[in-house]
Amino acid sequence: MQYQFFRIPAVTPGDAAEEFNRFLRSNRVLNVNREFVVQGENSYWALAVEYLSGESAPQAEKKPRPRNRVDYRELLKPEDFALFAKLREWRKETGENEAVPLYTIFTNEQLASMAQQRVSSRNQLAEIDGIGKGRLDKYAAAVLKIIAGVFDETGGAALSADC
């Protein structure tokens, strides 16, 4: 942690203000202590900046990493994609009800594996990468019910055996 001090005239801040702003943009600022010093036309802002420099500073040219999105409609067979879509609908509803991010329930990759493998038991579900005892205990029954083809949002109709 380092400190940098600035004095910016109140009447004509000009270059001093620009230098201060440039400094703020190029460093990771932790804290700014400021005090207005009253001296008539010579009044000024006294600023003490606590900051990190070097690797901890923000990168001016940082570009967002492109996300590698998987199009599961192209990756999965139509019947597997239909099941995948049902599993995603269930996950969305469950996430909203539990107020948790969807990936904490199951990732898209895990749902695609379930659809492709048509898992029919807790043991098969447990073999999918990243699915542990906690997720099994909490979600296995619902997932197996969907995969078995008896899940419907209204609770009445069943999925056809084709999906």
Tens of pLDDT, residue by residue over 144-158, are 999 988 444 334 334
Same domain, 82 and 131: yes
Whether 130 is in a domain gets the answer: yes
* Helix ranges, the chain (H): 14-26, 72-75, 78-98, 108-117, 122-126, 133-147
Predicted confidence at residue 54, as pLDDT, reads 60
- pTM value is 0.53
State the total domains in the chain: 2
Range of the domain at 86: 72-147
Mean pLDDT throughout 81-90?
94
pLDDT tens, position by position, 53-78: 765 545 555 566 667 788 999 999 99
Distance of CA 110 to the CA centre of its chain: 18
